[in-house]
C-alpha cells in the first residue's frame, strides 16, 4: 500500500493543515469561496473581524500559495488559488457531520 504522506512531503502537508487549523482562516476561505474575489475591506465587512486580523490571515495564506493577490489601484483583491481547498473542507465537514461512515472511508 502506498504511503499516505511520503516522508519527503510530510512537512509541507503538516504546514497546510496548520494553516487550515485556524477558524478565522476557514471563515475567510468560506467567504472567498462564495464571492470568488474580495478586498481586505470587503472581508472585514463580511466577517466582522478587525482589519489587522484579516490582513494577517490573508498574508499567511497568500504566502503559502493558498490565495492569490491582485492589485488594482489602491485595492488588493484576494481569491482562492488552490482548487483542492473546497474539496478538502467539504470532505472534512462531511465526516464531522457524520455523512461519511467508516465503511465509506476505508481505503
How many Å apart are CA 50 and CA 103, to the nearest integer?
43
Model confidence pLDDT, tens digit, residues 9-55: 999 999 999 999 999 999 999 999 999 899 999 999 999 999 999 99
| pTM (2 d.p.) | 0.85
Domain spans of the chain, in order of start: 14-96
* CB-based contact 78:40 (threshold 8 Å): yes
% of the chain beyond a pLDDT of 70:
93
pLDDT band at residue 106 under the 50/70/90 scheme = very low
pLDDT band at residue 71 under the 50/70/90 scheme = very high
Angle at 76 between CA 63 and CA 32, to 5 degrees: 70
Higher model confidence: residue 100 or residue 106? 100
How many Å apart are CA 80 and CA 65, to the nearest integer?
9
CATH architecture of 14-96: Orthogonal Bundle (1.10)
Amino acid at each position: 500500500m502506498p504511503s499516505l504522506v511520503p516522508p519527503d512531503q510530510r512537512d509541507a502537508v503538516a504546514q497546510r493543515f496548520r494553516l487550515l487549523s485556524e477558524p478565522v482562516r476557514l471563515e475567510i476561505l468560506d467567504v472567498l469561496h462564495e464571492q470568488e474575489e474580495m478586498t481586505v475591506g470587503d472581508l472585514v465587512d463580511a466577517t466582522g473581524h478587525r482589519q489587522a486580523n484579516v490582513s494577517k490571515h490573508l498574508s499567511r495564506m497568500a504566502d503559502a500559495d493558498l490565495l492569490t493577490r491582485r492589485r488594482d489601484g489602491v485595492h488588493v483583491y484576494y481569491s482562492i488559488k488552490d482548487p483542492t481547498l473546497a474539496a478538502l473542507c467539504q470532505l472534512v465537514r462531511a465526516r464531522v457531520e457524520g455523512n461519511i461512515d467508516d465503511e465509506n472511508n476505508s481505503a
